[in-house]
Amino acid sequence: MVQSHLLQNLCGYIDGQWVGAAASKTFEVCNPATGDLLAVLPNLGAPDTRAAVVAADRAWRDFPSLETREGWLMAIHDALLREKQELARIITLEQGKPLKESLVEVDYSAGFFKFFASQIHNLAPSPLGEKIRGASWTVHHRPAGAVGLITPWNFPLAMLAKKFPAALAAGCGIVTKPADLTPLTTIALWHILDGLKLPPGVANLVIGDAAPIGDVLCTHPAVRLISFTGSTEVGRTLIKTTAPHIKRLSLELGGNAPYIVMDDADLTAAADALMANKFRCAGQTCVCANRILVHAAVADRFASEMARRVSALRVGNGMDASTEIGPLINRAAVEKVARHVEDAMACGAKRVAQASVDASLTGTFYPPTLLDHLAEGSAMQQEETFGPIVAIRRFETEAEAVALANSTIYGLAAYLFTADVSRIERMSRQLSFGHVAVNTGTGPTPEAPFGGMKQSGYGREGGIEGLLEYCEPQTVVVA
Ligand code: ADP
């Protein structure tokens, strides 16, 4: 069982109190690297979620000034950095990623608190300079109200850090539901919040089965907005369930990112960037490259660059300093990756390289694998694999690359490697993705809006846009 000063209360948090510790219905959290049991947690249900919503709804109506909220954001930022090592340890224990990635995740998360603190002045009332129809007009940015924040398991801290500080900056009352595979990091964050003595009801945490908790968030009249990061399928459920209640939704759904390498690209740079992009979190991120599209003229050279790198990857327990690739989140994830690889090979793909997994590893590991000659019709082309697989699909022309890249229901992130400036301008305009990274594999940053086009969702996180998601503009006209 995990021991930590940030996990003294293994339960939910509602209206300023830890709740549910004595609940009879429980669920378990295990370490994917070892299968070891980390914690047994109470399974909170609909009544607790309703109580959390009522508390959040009361709290936002009585919210303090912008300056006070800015102070909270910076206090949380500082506390995250103070507790960086311990938070990173908890992330790695429950999620599996290498500790060095978890440390980066804490820094990245803290950055969102700092960024939204720096933007909060934009929420001050803005009077229109001139009289219109003899009256003075002022635009206020009111809080959206009580909001539900639902997060996935791949970045237990960062996915919440894109939402929570924006909601807090806007003055919303918050109910958070983390993924039941990785709730410990969120509980640890709530220990930090509890120590900072935010007013009761401002930040509530419910843990347990997704369906009853999600149902209350979707149907309770006090919840004005739900921000969700997760699968497109659950996103659709949220759209359907909230439709009769006309709630605002901010949805960051599936990815299936293309990674295009043109014939004029710097292949070494493209291969290095692909390693960092693709294998972060063992390939379980919605921004990581899923479809590797390489110009036929350079595909052999690119494949051999990648083969060297992939076969050298060190797979292991994320707590070991030498580990570069941790386990997948669970058995189902391993089975999905294995199914995608088998399907690709049945369609004609060839396995070019594979890293080794030590037989002593008992967790849910899958060896990083490089495939080449991926064919049309492979499952990997249409679905996110969410695993450590690089599968190269060859193309002949720029137009074909763009058509292949866009031939998906998703539109979250795309990557392009080319030395031609006019091509950068032309292709980035044609790519239907919310994030287009050129000659870099970098993902989102707190300062810029990030979100999907098409069925990757709507709404943005980060940037001033990510703050305004949680606000209701209200125009007050005084005659
Ligand atoms: P993933 O495929 O990444 O596991 P999911 O969409 O299944 O993504 O889960 C993302 C988050 O959504 C998790 O917190 C999960 O518990 C939650 N979730 C799953 N089903 C529902 C639902 N019906 N209503 C609300 N939240 C849900």
Going from the Cα of 180 to the center of ligand 1, the distance in angstroms, rounded, reads 9
Number of the ligand 1 atom closest to the C-alpha atom of 154: 3
Going from the Cα of 148 to the center of ligand 1, the distance in angstroms, rounded, reads 13
State how far the Cα of 237 lies from the Cα of 222, in Å rounded to an integer.
19
Cα first-last separation, the chain: 64
pLDDT of residue 3: 98
234 and 285 in a single domain? The answer is no
17 and 69 in a single domain? The answer is yes
DSSP string, 326-383: ---SSHHHHHHHHHHHHHHHHTT-EEEEE----TT--SS----EEEESPPTT-HHHHS
165 and 291 in a single domain? The answer is no
The CATH number of the domain holding residue 346 is: 3.40.309.10
342 and 357 in a single domain? The answer is yes
List per-residue pLDDT tens for the chain, 479 residues long.
999 999 999 999 999 999 999 999 999 999 999 999 999 999 999 999 999 999 999 999 988 999 999 999 999 999 999 999 999 999 999 999 999 999 999 999 999 999 999 999 999 999 998 899 999 999 999 999 999 999 999 999 999 999 999 999 999 999 999 999 999 999 999 999 999 999 999 999 999 999 999 999 999 999 999 999 999 999 999 999 999 999 999 999 999 999 999 999 999 999 999 999 999 999 999 999 999 999 999 999 999 999 999 999 999 999 999 999 999 999 999 999 999 999 999 999 999 999 999 999 999 999 999 999 999 899 998 899 999 999 999 999 999 999 999 999 999 999 999 999 999 999 999 999 999 999 999 999 999 999 999 999 999 999 999 999 999 999 999 99
Which tokens is 182 given?
Answer: 């990785």
pLDDT above 90 covers what percent of the chain?
A: 99
For atom 24 of ligand 1, the residue with the nearest CA is 214
| Residues framing ligand 1 (Cβ under 6 A) | 150-153, 177-180, 210-211, 214, 230-231, 234, 237
pLDDT of residue 120: 98
pLDDT of residue 376: 87
Q: Is 252 a catalytic residue?
A: yes
CB atoms within 10 A of CB 9: 16
150 and 266 in a single domain? The answer is no
Question: pTM here?
Answer: 0.98
State how far the Cα of 75 lies from the Cα of 94, in Å rounded to an integer.
26
What is each CA distance from 50 to 82, 199, 211, in whole angstroms? 33, 19, 14
State how far the Cα of 157 lies from the Cα of 83, in Å rounded to an integer.
13
Q: What is the DSSP letter of 455?
A: G
Range of 412's domain?
257-445
Going from the Cα of 422 to the center of ligand 1, the distance in angstroms, rounded, reads 41
Residue 467: φ, ψ to 5°: -80, -45
Residues 6+ apart with CB under 8 A from 321: 99, 100
CB atoms within 10 A of CB 8: 12
For atom 7 of ligand 1, the residue with the nearest CA is 231
315 and 233 in a single domain? The answer is no
Is 271 a member of any domain? yes
Residue with tokens 């849910």: 364
Residue tagged active-site, from 11, 218, 286, 288: 286
pLDDT of residue 63: 84
**Positive or negative, the Cα torsion across 162, 40, 283, 291?**
negative
pLDDT of residue 243: 98
Q: Left, alpha or beta for 233 (phi > 0: left; psi -120 to 50: alpha)?
A: alpha
Q: How many residues does the chain have?
A: 479
Q: Is 30 a catalytic residue?
A: no
Residues 6+ apart with CB under 8 A from 305: 267, 268, 271
pLDDT digits (tens, 9 = 90+) for 9-64: 999 999 999 999 999 999 999 999 999 999 999 999 999 999 999 999 999 998 89
Top mutation candidate among 234, 241, 286 for ligand 1, by most atoms within 8 Å of CB = 234
Nearest to 48 by CA among 171, 265, 220: 220
Which tokens is 401 given?
Answer: 């690359």
95 and 233 in a single domain? The answer is yes
What is each CA distance from 269 to 292, 374, 435, 443, 475, in whole angstroms? 15, 22, 19, 16, 50
The CATH number of the domain holding residue 55 is: 3.40.605.10
103 and 220 in a single domain? The answer is yes
| Number of domains observed in the structure of the chain | 2
